[in-house]
Structure 1
Amino acid sequence: MKGARLTLALAMGLGIVWPAASDRPVHAQDLTTGAIAGVVTDAQTGEPAVGVTVVVTSPRTRADTTFTDVDGTYKFAGLTPGDGYVLTFYYGDQTAERRGVRVNAHHTSTVPMAMQPEVIVVYGEGPDVDPTSTAKITRLGRQELTHLVLPGTDFESSIGSTAGSQNDGVGVALSGSTGLENQFVVDGMSTTGLSYGSSGVPVLNDFIEEIEVITGGYNAEYGRATGGVINVVTRSGSNELAGSVFGYLEPGLLRAAAERTPTQATSIDTRSDLDYDLDVGAEVGGPIVKDRAWFWVGVAPQLTRTTTTRITKRRTDCRQLMSDGTLSTAADARCPAEIPAGYQDGVADADPTTGFLIYEDLDSSKHRTRSRDLQLLGKLNLAVTPAHQGQLSVTVQPGASSGARMFGKVDEQGLDSTSLATTASLRWTSKFDDGKTELEAVLGAYRSAQTFGSTGGARDDLRLQTLYGGNLGTWSLLGGETTRTRQGCTDNDGGDPYEFIVNCPDDGVGYSIGGPGALVDDWERRLSARIAAVHRVRAFGSHELKAGADLEDDQIEKIRAYSGDSLLQNYVALGEVDVTRWVELMPPDGDATRYGDTCADSTGGGSYACNFLAPGEPGTVIHGQTFGWAAYLRDSWQLRPNLTINAGVRYEEQRLRYAAHLRDRVDPLTGDRLGTDAMVLDGNWSPRLGLLYDWTKQGRSKVYGSWGRFYESVPMDINERAFGGEVSLLQRYDAGTQCGGAIQGYGGVDGNACLGTGAEPGLGTTLLGGGTLIAPDVKAQYMDEALLGAEYELVEDLKLGISYQHRQLGRVIEDVSVDGARTYVIANPGEWSRDAEADLMAQAAALPAGSEERALLEAQLDQYRAIRGFDRPRRDYDALELTVSRRFSKAIFAQASYTYSKNRGNYPGLVSYDNGQVDPNISSQYDLIELLANRDGPLPLDRPHYVKVDAYYTFDLKRAGAATAGIRMRALSGTPVDVLGRHALYGVGESFLLPRGSLRRTDFEQSVDLHVDYGRSLGKGVTLQVFADVFNVLNDQGTFSVDENYTYLSSANPIVGGTYEDLIYAKETGTDGKETSTPLTRNPNFGRVAGRYAPLSARLGARITF
C-alpha cells in the first residue's frame, strides 16, 4: 500500500500527463504572486478581439507580453503583489491603457477592455469580485496596513477585521474553530508552530505587502487546517530604489489605568500597566541588476516594558447587615475609626448586592517586566528570463524577556526566557511551451527555540513549592512581604482590628517559593518541499488544471525537567504534601544500574523499577518526529465565461513517531514493543467541490456554493507527551507525621523535609501518564464544511456580500482512559473499528490459552471496546454573514460585517478553554468518562452577534499634503459562563457541575478605535508621515473572562442536568470519587471578572518613505 500511495503522489503532484489539445497559454497565481486576466472586445461589435497584443508593466518587474485568444481572453500570472500596474492594449491602430491596477496574492484581478477607434486611458482597478473562486477571503494591502486602525504592529493583530474571527487567548479563532487550527504561510512556506499549531513567525506590518485570510471554501491546494489559512507576502525589491524608516511608540503616559480585577481567593491582587512599547525600523529594496535581480531587507528592534503593581489586602469585619438589606457603611467605604459594639460578628463583611467579600488595601509594590525582540528579514529575487524566476527569503527573530512571579516571594528570584525563530525559503517558477505550462517549486526550513529558567540559572537547582490553604500573615514571616503587609495580615497580634476573622486567608490560589518550576530548553524544526504544476486546456469550455505535492519532515527536542528535580504542592490546611516528579520506568531489558528507584502505584497500578529524573540526566531529552506528505489535483472548469465548476481532491498522510530513545523498547506499562511509527494517519481523502455563476457576465457578481472536507495536521505536543514516554509519579505525604515539625513562616511543614526522611509516602502514590496505547485503526481528525453565498458589485468599488457557513467536526483524536488514568488510549472517542476488533480477536485466539501474551491482548481489547462508551465529540458552527466593502477609491475605504452565529457541542477543539489546558489532541476533556456529563451546550467561542467596521477617508490637501482619518468599531455578544468544580485526581476546572453555559453569558461588549495621519512630500521623492492611534476611546475595559471555578479545594462530581439552586446540596467527593457528606467549599471568587480588555491608550508614530 505504501508503494501505491507514493505512486499516487507522483501521478497527482509531479507527473501529470497533460492533454495535448491545449491552444491557450496558462499562468496560474500561487501563494505569493497574483494574476491579471480579462476579456478584450471590439466596442463597436461586442465581439471578442482576437490577437490583441497586451503588455503589462510595473516598477516591480520587467515588462511582459501576451496575446488574446480566440475568445478574446488574456492572462498574466506570477505578478508581484502591489499597486501601480499598467496594461497597454494594441489592436491594429487602436490603443488602450488601464492604469492603477492592483495585484493581490493568490488572486486574479479581472480587467476587461473594450477597444475603440480613438486612444483611451482608463484609471483604476477592475471589479472586486472573483467569479472563479468560492473562497471566503479578506485582504489587507499596503494602503490598508498604513491607514487602518490596527491594534498591534504584526500581522496577527491585523486579521481581526475578518468576519467570523475573534481572539481566543491563544491566537485568532476563525469561523468557530480554535486559534490552533489555522495554517500560517509566509512567502509560500508554512510557518505554523509545530508543538501547538500557533503562529511561529510574527512579521511586522511594515514589512508586509499583503495579508490574505481565507476562512472557508478553499480549494484542494490548501490543507492541514480545520480553521483558516493566513497567507502573508512580504515586500520585495523593484527597479526603483525605495524604502522607509519608521517608528511607533505607545507610552504609558497616554494609557488609562487598567481596571483592577480583584480576586476573592487570595490576599494578593495584581495590575499590569504598560510603561512603553517601542518599535523602530527601516526597510529598503531596489535593483541589483535592473530587470534581472532585486533585493529587499528590513530590520526592526522592539522594546517593551510593563510595570506590575502587586497589591496586598485583608478582609474586614466592621460592618453590620441592616434590616433593609444594606450595610451599616457603604460597601466601598473604609471602616469607621472605632468599630461599634456588635459590628464584629466573626463573619467577614460582604457586599449584599454582589455577595462578594469586602477588602481593604494594605500595601503595594511595583515590579517591571521587560522584553526585547528583533526582526531581520531579507529577500533576493532573480529573473533569468521573464519565464524563469527565483526567490530567496530569510527571517531571523531573536527575543528575550525578564520578569518575576507575583503570587509568592517576589524578591526571591527573577525569571528569564529567550527565543530565536529563523526561516529560509527558496522558490522557483518556470513557464514552458510558450507559457502553456507553469511549474513552481518551494524548499523551506523553519526553526524555533525557547529557554526558560531563573535569572542566570541561580535557583534552577531549587524545587518550586506552592503553599495552599494558609494565610499571608504567616507566609510574610518568610521575608517576602513588607512590614505593613505583615502587620496588617497577622491575626490577633494586639493591633488586629478584626480579631474574630482570618485577615488574609488563601482559598486555593497559593503562595510560591523556591525555584522556577518547569524548565525549558526546547527547539522545533521543519524541513519542507512543495511542487505544483498548472495547465490550461479547452474541452467543452476551458479547464485550468492544477496538481501538486508537498512533504514535511518535522522534528522537536524538548527537555523534561523540574528545577530541583520535583514540584511540591503543600496543602497546609489539609496537612498533606504532594510531590510530583518526572520518572523513567525501566523496560524489561533495561540496565538495572540506571534504575535504582521504585515507582509504585498504591491504587493498584503495580510497582516498577524506575529512575527519578533530575535535570540533565538521560531520559530528560525528548526527540520527536513527524513525517507528512500530501498530493492534490483540481480542475477549475469554465463551462461558459460566467459559469465555473471547481472540483478537486486532496490526499494527506501523517506518520507520528515515537521519541528516538523509546524506539525498539518494550513499554513497561503496556507490554507493547514500540516501533518507529506510533500513529499512522493515512487514507485521508479530502474532496472539494464548488459552483459559481456570474449573472452580470462582467465579473461583477457571483452566486456560489461549495462543500469540502478538511483534515487536521496533528501538532507535535502529542509526540513529546503521549509518544515520548511521559510518566510522572505523584507522592502524597502525611505532613503531620512524615515531614518533621512545623517551620516558622510556612504555617506547617516545609515540603522539602518530606523527601529527606526516606519514608514511603503515607497517603499513597499514583503513576500518571505513560502507558499510552494507540487504538488500532485510529483515524485522522477532520471537519466538513458547506458554504453558500453571493457577492455583487453594486457600483464601482462597492461590493455587497452574504454567506451561510456550516462547519461540523466529523471525527476527533483524543486520549481516553477507562482505568482511572493509569493507561491512556489515543483514539477516536465514541467509535472503534469493528474490523480492527475482529483482527485483534483473531490474534488473541491464535495465542496459547492462559499465556501472558494472550492475557495482555485481551486486556487491551477490553480497553479498546470501552472507547465506544465515550460520547462522540461534537462541534457545530453555523453562521450567517453580511458584508459591505469599498476598496480604496476616490479617497475612501470601508469594510463592514455582521455575523450571526451559533457554536454548540461538547468539544471546543484543540484548546480546552474551561481549564486553560493547551495540549492538542491529548487534553483532559475525554480522559475520564465520569467527567463527560454536562459538557453539551454553547461552546466558549459562541458569540451570537458580532459587528465589525473598519474604514478610513483621505483628504487631499493638494500641495499641503494629505490627511487620513480612520475608525475601527466592534460590537459583540459575551461568552457563556460555566460552573466548574475540582476533580480529586485531575484538579481544578475539570468537572462541569452544571450543564455547559447554563449559568449566564458575559456582557455585550463594544469598542471604538480612531486613527489619524498626515503626510507631506519633502521633495525628491521623500515623504514624511506622522500618525496617531487611539484605542478603546470609550475606555470600556469590559469582561474578557470570569472565574468559572465554583470550587478550588473541594472535589465534586457533575450534577447531571442540574441548576444553580442544586449547588447548595452538592457534596465533596473523596479520592476514590465517591460522594461524602461534606458540603462543597465555594470559591469566594466564583463569577468575578478574571480578565479585562485593554484600557484606553494611544500610539504615536512617524514614517519617512523614499
Structure 2
Amino acid sequence: MVGEKALRIVGVALAALLTAGAAENPRSAILGTVIDAQSRQPVAEVVVTASLSAQGGERIAVTQPDGRYRIPDLPPGDYALRFERELFEPYSLPLSVSEGRTLRVNVELQPTEPGEAVGLFCGGPTVDTSSSTLRFIQWREDVSRVPVSRPTKWAGAMRTSDSLAEWVPGTVDSVDGRSFSGATPFENEYLLDGLSTRDPTTGRNLLPLSQELVSDISVLTGGYMPEYGRTTGGIIDLEPVVISNELHGEVFANWAPGALEGAWRPATGPRPALSSDGALRHLGDFGGTLGGPLLKDRLWFFAGIVPALSRVEQDAGFMDQRSLQALARLTYALKHRHWTSLTVVTTPALMRGMEGAQAPRAVDSDTVMTVLAYNAMVLDGRVTLDAKASWLGHDVTRLSPVAPASVDTDRFQAKTQASYWLKALGHHALETGLELEHVVQRPSQVADITSSNLSGFVQDRWTLNDRLTLNGGLRYDAQFLDADVRGNMTHHQLSPRVGLVFDPGGNGRMKLFAHAAKYQGMVPLGLLTPDARIASRLGPTSSSEFIAGAEHELSLFAKAGVTYTRRRLDDALATIADDGAGGFLIVNPGAGPAASLPKATRTYDAVTVELGRSFWDGWQAQLRYTWSWLHGNYAGPFGTDGGRPLSQSRLLAADRPHVFKAFASKEFTLTRKLTLNAGLAYLGAAGAPREAASTRTPWVHTIDAQLSARYDTDDQHIVTLRIDAFNVLNAQTTLREETLLPLQYQTPRQLRLGVRYSF
C-alpha cells in the first residue's frame, strides 16, 4: 500500500504541476470491428494497415480476439486501408481522414472458400442484427467531445470509467450508487478484461479505473447471454487499451478549483458526517500513459499512472482524499494465432475527515489485481480458446483512536471459454465456458469467511439466414459459503436465456428483437456479521426479465430505436431476529423461517426511445428518453430494516418516471492546425417519490457545457486545452428528503480545467 507520506508527496506534486486547462479532445483515428462474412463472428489477428498516399507512411494495428482494432494519431489526408489475414481474402478501400475526425470502419472478411459477398460499413452507427443484448459502448473518442464525469466530491477526484454509464438509458443515480433497470447498486457486476472486480462484501466496484487506462467501456442493461456472470443488476465491462505497433503516449492534467464553484445550499435536515454538501477547495487528477511495441509484431506494452486528490470543507474541518492508479500490461504473440498477456493494476487510496467536532475519521485502502490471459485460434480459425486467471487483493483499514478495524480480502478467479463456428441449417456460434472463484475475507478480530463459486454455461447464436437469428443458452451457478459457526450454504441455480432477432430487409439496417431471461445473484458477504446465521435452503437474489424492441438505421450517420424492459424480482435476502440462538438469521422473505413475512417484490417497467447521430460534418448528437415505473415492497438487503419487505407495495425510492438524456457537439476547423469543439449536455429527471408516495421532490435539470481547442503540430503531436462547466445554471434542486426536510441539494456549478499533450 502506498503510505500517507507518499500520497502527500503526490499531492504536493499535483499542486505544483496542475495549471489552467483541461482536455480530453479526440485525435484523428480509424477504429472498428472485423467479422467473418459467413459465421458473423469476430476475427482476431487481422493486420490492419493505413497507408498515407501523399507521404507514403504506414500505421498498423492488429485486431483483438473480439475483432476490434484502433489506429490512433493519424494526420489528415487520403489513406488506403487494407485488411489481411490467412484463410481470408484481403480487402482494401480508399479513405479520407479530416483533422480530429474519428472514422468507424467495420469490415466483413470473406473466407478463401466460396461463400457470401464481403460487406463494409464505414463511419456510422451499426445495427447489431445478431444480438438481443442491450449493450451500449462508450468509446473515448465519442465521449471526449461532450462534458462527462462530473466531479463528485464524496467519491474523490478520479474520472472513473464507471461514470460514463450515466448517459446510458435505464440508469438512475442514488445515494448508494447507480441503479440499472430498477435493481439496487449492490446487484451490479463489474468486469475488467472479462473478470469480476465486484466487492464480494457489498457489491460495489473495487477497481473503478480511470478513463485514461481503458480504451472503452461497455454497459449492458439487459438481454445478457449465459456467458455473463452472476448479476441481477447492470454490467460494466472495461476493455484494456488496444495494442499498436506505433509508440504513443499522453500527458494530461485536470483541475476543478473550489474558487470557481458556485454557492451551495446547506441541507436543513440531518446530514451524514461526511457530506457532499461541503464547499469544494480543490479536486483534480494528472498523469500519463505510454504504449507501443517492444518487439514489432511480437511484444507490446502499455503503462499508465494517474494520481488524484481532493479537499472538501466539513463542519469540523476538511475531508481529504488521495488516490493513485497504475496499470501495466504486456501482450506477447507466442506464435501465429496464439496470444498471451499479463496485466497488473494497483489503486492505493486514503481518506481523512471528521465525524463531528471531536471524532477524526481515517480510511486507508489498497486494491491490487493481476490477470494472466491466453487466447488461441485452432482448426483453421473455427475454434477460439480463451483462458484467464487472476488474483485480486483488497485491504481496507478504518483508523480510529478507539477501535481500529480492517478487512483483508483475497479473490482468486479462473475462467476458460471455447467458441466453435460451424454450418448446419445456417451458421452457429457455439460457446461453452467454466468459471471458478474462491474468496477469503479476513475481518479483524472475527473468524474468516470463505465463499466459493462454480459456474458453467452453454450457448448458441444460430443465424438461420440473413433475416433471422436465435440466441439461447443455459447457465449454471453454485455458491458455497463457509462462515465458521454462522452456518453453511450450498445452492445451485439454473438460468435459461433465449432471444430472437429479426432483420426485415436482411441488410443489417434494421432489427426487431425480443429476449427472455432468468438472472441469479449471489449472497453478499457483508450480510455475514458476527451475530448473523444462514437459514437452511437459503437462495440468493434472483429476477426474471423480458425485453423487446426495434432499431433502425435512418442514414449512414443516424440511428433510432425503441425498447421495452420488464424486470421482476423473484427472490430476495433479508435479516430477521433469530429467536432460537439470538442474533440474526439471513432468510428469503416469505419462505422457510421467514414464511410469516410478505414475499419480497420489485417490478420495473420501462420504455426507452433514442435517436442518435454519429460524428459527421463536425456534428455529434444523442437523445434518449425513458419512461419507467418501479414499485414493490423491497429496497435491498442492506439498511436499518435489514431488507425486510414493507407491509404493502409502493413506489420505490429509485423510481423516476421520466428521464431525458441528451448531448450534442460541433467541431469548428479554424486553420489546418487549430480546431475548436463545443459540446452541450442535458440531464433531466422527475423527482423521487416522497414518503407518502403521493407527491415527489422537484424535477432535476442539469445543463453541462464544454469548450476545447486542439492544436496539431507538423510532427503529429497534439496539444489540447479544455474547460468543462457542470451545472451551468447553478440549479439547487432538492435531491433527497427525510420527513420533508432536505437532506441534499444538487452539486453547485463547477468548472474543470485541464491540458493534454498527445504524441
For 1:1009, the aligned partner's letter is: D
Q: Secondary structure at the match of 2:166?
A: helix
Q: CA 1:170–1:1030 in 2, change beyond 3 Å: closer, same or farther? A: same
Aligned position for 1:291: 297
Matched, 1:1035 2:736: no
| 2:535 aligned residue (758, 771, 774) | 774
Q: Is 1:111–1:127's contact at 8 Å kept on the other side of the alignment?
A: no
CA distance in structure 1 between the partners assigned to 2:334 and 2:308 by the alignment: 37
Structure 1 residue 688 and structure 2 residue 497: aligned? yes
Distance 1:100 1:223 in 2: 41
Q: CA 1:220–1:100 in structure 2 vs 1: closer, same or farther (change >3 Å)? A: farther
Distance in 1 between residues matched to 2:179 and 2:495, nearest whole Å: 22
**1:146 alignment partner in structure 2:** 144
3-state SS of paired residue (2:591): coil
Alignment of 1:901-912 (within 5 A): 901-912=628-639
Does the alignment pair 1:868 with 2:572?
Answer: no
Q: Does 1:1000 align with 2:718?
A: no
TM-superposed deviation, 1:401: 1.8
Alpha-carbon distance in 2 for matches of 1:393, 1:891: 36
Please list the CA deviations of residues 674-699 of structure 1 after superposition, one character each: whole Å capped at 9, or x if unmatched.
Answer: 7xx611111x1100100001112111
Paired with 2:263 and 2:169, the residues of 1 have a C-alpha distance of: 31
Residue of structure 2 in register with 1:188 after alignment: 194
Task: Identify the residue that residue 1013 of structure 1 maps to in structure 2.
Answer: 708
The structural deviation recorded for 1:715 is 1.6
Matches within 5 A, 1:652-671: 652-659=477-484, 662=485
- Provide the rounded CA distance (Å) in 1 between the counterparts of 2:275 and 2:323: 29
For residues 276-303 of structure 1, what are the alpha-carbon distances to aligned partners after superposition, in whole Å with 9 as ceiling and x for unaligned?
A: 0121100000110000010010011111
Hey, what's the Cα distance between the residues in 1 that align with 2:572 and 2:121?
52
Kindly state the Cα deviation for residue 1005 of structure 1 after the two structures are TM-superposed: 1.1
Answer whether contact 1:382 1:391 (CA < 8 A) is retained. Answer: yes
Structure 2 residue 417 is the aligned partner of structure 1 residue 532: yes
Match of 1:808 in 2: 568
| C-alpha displacement of 1:162 | 0.4
Query: 1:144: Cα distance to partner?
Result: 2.3
SS in 2 for 1:640: coil
Aligned pairs for 1:935-974 within 5 A: 935-974=648-687
- Identical residues among aligned pairs (%): 27
Q: Aligned pair count?
A: 687
Task: Give 2:546's aligned amino acid.
Answer: A
TM-score by length of 1: 0.59
| Deviation at residue 415 of structure 1 after TM alignment | 2.6
Q: Which has the greater radius of gyration?
A: 1
Looking at structure 2, the residues matched to 961 and 707 of structure 1 have their Cα atoms a distance apart, in angstroms, of: 50
- Who is 2:281 aligned against? 275
C-alpha distance after superposition, 1:1026-1069 (max 9, x if no partner): 000000011112111111xxxxxxxxxxxxxxxxxxxxxxxxxx
Instruction: Spell out the pairing of 1:481-880 with structure 2 (5 A cutoff).
Output: 519-559=404-444, 620-659=445-484, 662=485, 678-682=488-492, 684-719=493-528, 721=529, 726=530, 769-770=531-532, 772=533, 774-775=535-536, 777-817=537-577, 819=579, 822=582, 824-832=584-592, 864=593, 867-880=594-607
Change (3 A) 1:1002 1:95: closer
Q: RMSD of the alignment, in Å?
A: 3.1
- 1:98–1:213 Cα change, 3 Å: farther
Query: What is the identity, as a one-letter code, of the residue corresponding to 1:261?
Result: A
Report deviation, 1:713: 1.9
Alignment of 1:89-100 (within 5 A): 96-97=92-93
> Post-superposition shift, 1:906?
0.3
1:1097 Cα deviation after fit: 0.9
SS at 1:641's partner residue? coil
Give the whole-Å Cα distance in 1 for the aligned partners of 2:378 and 2:598: 55
> For 1:266 and 1:284, how far apart are their aligned partners in 2?
41
Question: Secondary structure at the residue paired with 2:713?
Answer: strand
Q: CA deviation at 1:400?
A: 1.3
Aligned to 2:322: 372
Contact map agreement 1:217 1:787 (CA 8 A) in 2? yes
Change (3 A) 1:227 1:970: same
Contact kept, 8 Å, 1:245 with 1:283, in 2: the verdict is yes
What is aligned with 2:101? none
- CA deviations over 1:749-791 (Å, ceiling 9, x no partner): xxxxxxxxxxxxxxxxxxxx45x3522x333321000000000
Distance in 2, matches of 1:199 and 1:166, equals 17
Aligned mates of 1:623, 1:814 — CA distance in 2: 22
The structure whose RCO (Cα within 8 Å, separation 6+) is larger is: 2
Paired residue secondary structure (1:257): coil
Residue 176 of structure 1 pairs with residue 182 of structure 2: yes
**In structure 2, distance between residues paired with 1:1097 and 1:711:** 40
* CA distance in 2: counterparts of 1:187 and 1:1018, whole angstroms: 35
In structure 2, the gaps of 5 or more residues are 1-30, 39-45, 51-57, 73-79, 98-103, 111-117, 152-158
Residues 408 and 441 in structure 2, CA contact (< 8 A), matched pair in contact too: yes
Please tell me whether residue 925 in structure 1 is matched to residue 637 in structure 2: no
The residue number in structure 2 matching 1:577 is: none
Aligned counterparts of 1:133 and 1:267: Cα–Cα separation in 2: 47
How far, CA to CA, are the matches of 2:32 and 2:121 in structure 1?
20
Q: Are 2:105 and 2:120, in contact at CA under 8 Å, matched by a contact in 1? A: no
Shift in CA distance, 220/109, structure 1 to aligned 2, threshold 3 Å: farther
Cα distance in 1 between the residues matched to 2:757 and 2:276 = 40
Task: Give the TM-score normalised by structure 2.
Answer: 0.85
Provide, for residues 88-135 of structure 1, a one-character-per-residue CA deviation record: whole Å limited to 9, x for no partner.
48999997426599xxxxx9956589xxxxxx9988346511000111
1:133 alignment partner in structure 2: 131
**2-structure distance, mates of 1:240, 1:108:** 20
Equivalent in the alignment of 2:370: 424
Q: Identify which of 739, 747, 750 aligns with 1:1094.
A: 747
Match of 1:199 among 201, 205, 213: 205
> Secondary structure of 1:158's match?
helix
Shift of 1:248: 0.2
> Which residue of structure 1 lines up, in the alignment, with residue 384 of structure 2?
438
Q: Which residue of 2 aligns with 1:349?
A: none
The amino acid across from 2:700 in the alignment is: E
Quick check: 2:669–2:676 contact (8 Å CA) kept in 1? yes
Say if 1:401 and 1:416, in contact at 8 Å, map to a contact too.
yes
Structure 2 SS opposite 1:243: strand
- The aligned residue for residue 620 of structure 2 is 893
Q: Structure 1 residues 265, 952: CA separation in 2 closer, same or farther (over 3 Å shift)? A: closer
| Equivalent of 2:35 in 19, 26, 37 | 37
Unaligned runs of 5+ in 1: 1-32, 41-53, 65-75, 102-106, 114-119, 311-365, 461-517, 560-619, 663-673, 727-768, 833-863, 918-922, 927-931, 979-996, 1044-1085
2:90–2:109 contact (8 Å) kept in structure 1? no
What is the CA-CA distance between 1:1004 and the residue it aligns to? 1.1
Tell me the distance in 1 between the aligned counterparts of 2:367 and 2:119: 48
1:2-60 alpha-carbon deviations (Å, 9 max, x no partner):
xxxxxxxxxxxxxxxxxxxxxxxxxxxxxxx98522649xxxxxxxxxxxxx9644788
Instruction: Give the partner amino acid of 1:808.
Output: R
Tell me the secondary structure at the aligned position of residue 180 of structure 1.
helix
Judged with a 3 Å threshold, the aligned counterparts in structure 2 of structure 1 residues 1017 and 194 are, in CA distance, closer, same or farther, namely same
* Aligned residue runs from structure 1 range 167-316, under 5 A: 167-263=173-269, 272-308=278-314, 310=315
Deviation at 1:159, TM superposition (A): 1.0
Question: Which structure shows the bigger proportion of residues in helix conformation?
Answer: 1
Which moves more between the two structures, 1089-1098 or 263-272?
A: 263-272
The answer to whether the Cα contact below 8 Å between 1:873 and 1:906 also exists between their aligned partners in 2 is yes
- SS for the counterpart of 1:1001 is coil
Q: Is the 8 Å Cα contact of residues 34 and 68 (structure 2) preserved in structure 1? A: no
Q: Is the 8 A contact 1:129 1:702 kept in 2?
A: yes
CA distance in 2, matches of 1:815, 1:283: 47
Distance (Å, rounded) in 1 between the aligned partners of 2:543 and 2:270: 41
Structure number with the higher strand fraction is 2
Does structure 2 retain, via aligned residues, the 8 Å contact 1:34–1:78? no
SS in 2 for 1:417: strand
1:622: how far off?
Answer: 2.9
Secondary structure of 2:185 counterpart: coil
SS of 1:280 mapped into structure 2: strand
